[in-house]
């Protein structure tokens, strides 16, 4: 866990990726996997947010999604 900063909040660690390493999309797909199938058809570099956090290094985080209409 990051060390607290002067404000008492944990300092965030940020890692910048080169454009060539950065995915175009980061997506979540439920067990139906409809979103995964849609993203695969786009033929773009993408990273899936895991359904269950089994891999080391992943932790729960809020996700903001804009809604229009």
pLDDT tens for 4-44 read 556 667 776 777 878 887 788 888 888 898 999 999 999 88
Buried b (16+ CB within 10 A) or exposed e, 6-27: eeeeeeeeeeeeeeeeeeeeee
Count of domains forming the chain: 1
Does residue 30 sit within a domain? yes
**What 3-state class would DSSP assign to 51?**
coil
Does residue 2 sit within a domain? no
pLDDT digits (tens, 9 = 90+) for 34-66: 999 999 999 888 888 877 766 677 676 777 777
Q: How many angstroms separate the CA atoms of 51 and 58, rounded?
A: 11
Does residue 38 sit within a domain? yes
Does residue 31 sit within a domain? yes
Give the residue numbers spanning the domain of 42: 20-49
Does residue 11 sit within a domain? no
- Judge whether residue 2 has pLDDT over 60: no
Helix and strand counts by DSSP (H, E) for the chain: 1, 2
């Amino acid at each position: 866990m990051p060390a607290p900063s002067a404000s008492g909040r944990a300092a965030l660690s940020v890692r910048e990726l080169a454009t060539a390493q950065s995915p175009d999309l980061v997506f979540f797909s439920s067990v139906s996997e409809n979103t995964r199938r849609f993203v695969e058809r786009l033929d773009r570099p993408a990273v899936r947010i895991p359904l269950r956090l089994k891999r080391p290094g992943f932790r729960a985080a809020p996700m903001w999604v804009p809604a229009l209409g």
